[in-house]
Amino acid sequence: MLTSKQHELLRFIQDRLAATGVSPSFDEMREALDLKSKSGVHRLISALEERSFIRRLPNRARALEVLRMPDAAVAATAAPRPLVPAPANDMIEIPLHGRIAAGTPIEALQGTEGFAVPAALLGPGEHYALEVSGDSMVEEGILDGDYALIRKTETAREGEIVVALIDAEHATLKTFRREGQMIRLDPANRHYEAQRYRPDQVQIQGRLAGLIRRY
């Protein structure tokens, strides 16, 4: 069951594809649904994608494909079939929350500047970007000045690279580990030591979903 906004967006995308063969831009979708920001569009797109009404085609920056409409009869065992096989490229604007230390913890998750990202780089869920500061994750290929694409989550699995908020004040980008009753945040640089904290000191803010490097 779709919400009214999800249904409205799905119909708008399908009508545009049927009329022009090109899906609407995120700005056009935002205006059509009278939303305040493109992040709202991104959340609706992610919800439709999770319910298999649309999908993003791989290896394309702007690629939306309508798989089915709410009133379309789709057999439970059949693979969804695209209604209009004419995708369009698009960019998604996600929040850029300043700089985050890949060395020692610094203040992060501040600011509201937008950061344009190819939609194909992001999966479902809500994302934000952080500019990396420091060299403690270089052995994971994360360099000073890179932009880390972070999927919001409050949980982490062993070995995942996460944004961890320490003592509700500072954030750092590290590999998440458990060590007895402690949480260990591992760097990826032999010149840096692991950081150990009590579980009540650490709040997971997201996990690494991608990386963008500008030359």
- pLDDT tens for residues 34-65? 888 878 888 888 888 888 888 876 545 456 77
- pLDDT score at 14: 82
Arithmetic mean of pLDDT, 155-182: 92
CATH domain 92-212 topology: Umud Fragment, subunit A (2.10.109)
A 10 A CB-CB count for 16 gives 21
* Residue 172, CA distances (Å) to 5, 30, 105 in order: 36, 33, 5
Domain limits, the chain: 4-89, 92-212
| Residues annotated catalytic, as ranges | 136, 174
Contact 67, 83 (CB under 8 A): yes
- pLDDT score at 122: 79
The pTM score is 0.57
CATH of 4-89, one of 1.10.10.10, 3.40.50.2300, 3.40.50.1820, 3.40.50.720: 1.10.10.10
- pLDDT score at 198: 96
**Residues 168, 202: Cα–Cα separation, whole Å:** 8
Tell me if 4-89 shares its fold with 92-212. no
The residue count of the chain comes to 215
